[in-house]
Structure 1
Amino acid sequence: MSVLLIEAFYGGSHKQLMDLLNGEIEGCVLYSLPAKKWHWRARTAALHFMEAVPPSDSYRVLFTSSVLNLAELIALRPDLGKLKKVLYFHENQLVYPVRKNQDRDFQYGYNQILSCLVADLVVFNSAFNMESFLTSISKFLKMIPDHRPKNLERLIRPKCRVIHFPITFPDVSRFLPEHKKISMKCLGHQKEVTVHSQNETAKVAPTVFGQAEEHMTQPWREPNNPMTPPEESHSVDDGQVISQPSSSSFSTESPRPLHIVWPHRWEHDKDPETFFEIMMKLKDQGLPFCLSVLGETFTDVPEIFSEARISLGSAVLHWGFLPNKDEYFQALCTADVVISTAKHEFFGVAMLEAVHCGCYPLCPKALAYPEIFPAEYLYSTPEQLLKKLQNFCKRPGIVRRHRFQGETAPYSWASLSGEFRSLLTAEPGKDP
């Protein structure tokens, strides 16, 4: 073992990345803490790993996320300071949205700045993440009442680079509805993306869909009431509702209503208030749609979720986190449109996964989204988002015939594995 992986918040995209590196790159050993109590992980994880990580002469590289205070760990464990130290930013605390500016805890951003100063390489998952962090350092440090440090951006920037988060796009062909399968056959000249895993090499279908006729999809609603869903079977467990349509309720007279999916964490920085406000406007206008609200929940769930679940009623098809990946991708494959209303997004794994499953993306024209998605998928205001959805609800065939005008392959492990392997290789000629 030559690569020491340390993750202080082993959940979500943090877990995905560490599991991927640990499984794909030889010589890795992983030490982690569960994804709970984020604030306490940021404050105290260094002390835990000081004790948890045994000394070893075989370590050559230390790779960790920016949740860990790397400066503290290196001070507590000088032997680890001799390694090539790589710090990966999934997000940064200098611009992470808070409800009120006075709620921002100076310590978390300060810890990240200190970690950058002791790291040998600082890697960000997007250019937006990197630039928003580096250009905010000076302003952030003005919170210090006096004796403020200077020129830290100049010290840190030369260490920085962007390597997008690597996604393992699965083969979802078995989950695709008929119109998406037909689209893929029509676009058979597109190249497949090869994804290498520890045990096998899989061919992943290209993420471009279109050319299918709207009438080829099975209708979803009863023709006499556009807001009435089919007969459903419900299972309710700890607030999670999974609904499956009954085959007997399909009609051949009209297309099924637009299926909207929102696959994000149930937290305020994803702005669920704006999303549900728009969904209620669609419902009040009598426009036909159905909805899947996925994503993880944590300790404090915004009240809007329970309110919206009641208000949206029968429009809801899926409600709650789907821990089983097959079920999750199956839900994405049945959807037409994936929406983000985020106030915070430094990359956006869930949006790219949904696009891979044939969803039409609608994202804010801000944050990391313009870096990843072509302009036609971006909106500037909630009013623009509402107008697009009104049109799609009236004419769902628009999105079902659409061919995605961007690429997902550059964000795959197949494309990015070489850069990560280079990161986790000690420079030749250096004595760690």
Structure 2
Amino acid sequence: MYNFSKIKSYVIFVTILLISCSDETKINKNEPLEEKRVSKVYNLKLGHGMPGVSPQQLAAEKFKEIVEKKSKGRLKIDIFPNQIMGTDQEMIQKAIKGDLDIILPPSYKLNSIVSSAFYLDLPFYFENRKELYRMLDGTPGGILKKNLLGKGLVGVAFWESGFKHFTANKEIHSPADLENLKFRTAKNPFLFEQYKRLGAKPYFIDFQKIPNALKDGVISAQENSLDSILNLKLYEHQSHLILSEHGYIGYLLTLSKKVYDNLPQDLQETLFAAGEETALYQRKLVHKKEKDYLEKLREVKVNIYKLTPKEKKKFKDQLKPVVERYRERIGFKMLELSDQIKSEQVSISNDEIVIGLDADLFAGSAPSGFSIKRGAQIAIEEINSEGGLLGKKLRLISKNHSGISVRGIKNIEDFSKTQNLIAVLGGLHSPVALAEIDLLNKEKIIYLGP
């Protein structure tokens, strides 16, 4: 006779054992998949056009070190300098297609993709690096990165070569000194127009071909950063270095969007964090090396001198028509935000009288707003050139309201606290002006409508 109690116990035991084995099997099957996901190594290629001894290459090596350490080996980076992966334009196209993972193009090469990249080619616009970094690391730089995103590129952080300077075989102190001078410029229509306006004969010549072009007499002058002037040995063909700081060469560490989108989120964040950290390292490196570059150039008997503020103004004044033609292409918002940053850097003195501008400078009526602003600037420049008003210089401070009444009211509140303010110019939006009337009356601010 069967002992059903024992049989029942046995069946329960076997069932539990089978379930346990089944669960264990599932866990063992899943473990390799999870391990594979976490431990997958992504090999990325970084290409750039600068020599192996350049600050860009040293920074690329630092970037590689930081990325591989932060990712615990899940990201590996191979670096290809000196146009090994093609010209800058070729590398940009490869990145867009997803055939090259990371690139480091000079800012002036990106204008073929987005016109806002002409921003860094504004002549005699950036006063110093502190001001410039606020722009690049702030909203203006963010606008440029956002524009690139729509073209298949992910901008990470701005590195640099630094400010540009003139080199020639004679002294240059004014636009007249550039008259009929065969001048090399990068393949950039904005730069080409600038030098035509200054009276030079501009030539498009590739970066690597500059020394031979100087040697063969194809060109007799050029512009570049100090590191390029030294590393390309341009001093062998140019007797004068004019420290003009007339433009800036930035390098934007950029990822292929196709590659970026296929990376896990934590590795995307790693690349951004490493890029921004390296930017600080690279900028300091360039600053330090620039002192050494100048010393080495002096050792090889290059004549070095700096443009005075008055000399810079001559160039800037002559180039204004070119800048105005490119304002819309660069972007009204980008330039207005930059102008505001510049204005914040200079405190209002007791010898100044302030006029405010409250208009749409970002949105649909931005062209009209900028026309009003430009007209006011021209009038102020004329008045100041004749001695100012009551012995004081006039100064324009502009604020954007984008056609939104709340923003306009906030602007008037800010203007009411502005030292030496005597009046505010308005834009085209009557609803905004009507919303501001009570506050204007309360603060006793003169309002001038268009």
Which interval holds the TM-score relative to the shorter structure? under 0.3
Structure with more of its chain in helix, by fraction: 2
**Normalising to structure 1: TM-score of the pair?**
0.27
Give the greater-gyration-radius structure (CA): 2
Superposition TM-score, scaled by structure 2 size: 0.27
